[in-house]
Amino acid sequence: MYLAEQKTGHLVEVADLRALFNPNAAEVRGRVHYGEEAQEPESFRKSGLRFPSGETLPRCWVDPDYRAGLRSA
Confidence bin at 51 (pLDDT 50/70/90): very high
Note whether 43 and 27 are within 8 A (CB): yes
Rounded CA-CA distance 52/50 in Å is: 6
Q: What is the spatial distance between Cα 55 and Cα 45, in angstroms, rounded to a whole number?
A: 16
The predicted pLDDT at position 60 comes to 93
pLDDT at 66: 84
pLDDT one-digit tens code per residue, 26-47: 999 999 988 777 789 999 999 9
